[in-house]
Amino acid sequence: MIDKTSPLPIYYQIQEMIRGKIDSNEWEPGDMLPSERIFAESYDVSRMTVRQAVTELVNEGLLRREKGKGTFVLEPKIEQTLQGLTSFTEDMRKRGLKPGSKLVKYNLDNPSLKFAEMLQMQGDQQLYEIKRLRLADEVPMALETTYMNKELVGELPEDIENHSLYYILEAEKGLKLGNGEQTFESSLARQEEADYLDIQVGDPVLLIKRMTYLEDGTLFEYVKSVYRGDRYKFTIKMPR
C-alpha cells in the first residue's frame, strides 16, 4: 500500500490513501480512523509522518481531530462558494431548479475599439460574442453575454461550459487562470432585455459583470449578465 522507494513522499501517499477510502465510502462520515500510533505501526512509518498526512486533510476539512478521542471523518464540505459563483448551472441545481440555456447570438468578428482595449487584443485577432438566455425550469432568468478572445480559447462549440473550458485552457494550452472580479449593480430593464426575459421595460434587474483574468493579468473573459429582479436573488456564503 505504501511504497517507500517512490519519489512521492510517504505522507502524501498516506494522505491520498485516506482520501481514497473516504471517497469510496470505505470510511464514512462519523467513522473514527485508526489511531495515529496504530496507523504508524501498521504501515511501519513514524507517527509524525502519519500526523503530517492527517494534518493536511484536517486543513482541507475532510477530517476532525479530537484530543483524547480520535480522528473522525467529517461530513462532505459545505461548498466551494467562490467557484459556485461562476456557474449558473450549479447555482440553479442547488436551488432544485432545472437549469437550461438557449443560444440567442453566436458571433465571431473583429472587436470594437472598446473591447479590443479591454481585452488587450491585437487588430487581427477575433472576438467571440455569445449571447445566451438562461432558464430555470424553462423560465427565463437571465440574459448572459460572454466575450472571449479566440486567440486564447481556440475554437468554441456553441454549448460552451465554463467548467470544462477552464480545464482545457489549463491542461492543453498551459494557460494559468488568475483572479476574477464580479460586480453587482441594480438597474432597469432595457428593450432587448425586457423582450428576452419576458418583463416590462423599466422593471428592476440585477446586473452582474464578471471579469476573469489570467495569471499574468490579462483579461481572459468578460461576461455581462442581466437577471430578472423579481425572480433572482444572488447568494454568497462566507466562511470563517
Partner DNA sequence: AAAGTGAATTGGTATAGACAACTATAATTA
Partner DNA sequence: TAATTATAGTTGTCTATACCAATTCACTTT
Helix axes 47-60, 36-43, angle to 10 degrees: 120
Instruction: Return d(Cα 69, Cα 37) in angstroms, integer.
Output: 13
- Stretch 162-181: interaction string toward its own copies, x if CB under 8 A: ---------------xxxxx
Place of cell 476574477: 180
Place of cell 476539512: 61
Task: For the CB of residue 155, give the shortest distance to its own copies in the complex, in Å.
Answer: 25
Task: For the CB of residue 156, give the shortest distance to DNA in the complex, in Å.
Answer: 34
Can residue 188 be called a binding residue for its own copies (CB under 8 A)? yes
Can residue 66 be called a binding residue for its own copies (CB under 8 A)? no
Instruction: Return d(Cα 87, Cα 5) in angstroms, integer.
Output: 42
Binding site for DNA (CB under 7 A): 4, 7, 9-12, 33, 35-38, 44-49, 51-52, 65-71
Place of cell 466575450: 147
The nearer residue to DNA, 16 or 90, going by C-beta atoms, is 16
Angle at 113 between CA 110 and CA 118, to 5 degrees: 100
Pick from 6, 42, 83, 120 the residue near its own copies by CB under 8 A: 83
Can residue 78 be called a binding residue for its own copies (CB under 8 A)? yes
Pick from 98, 102, 187, 198 the residue near its own copies by CB under 8 A: 187
C-alpha cell at 224: 455581462
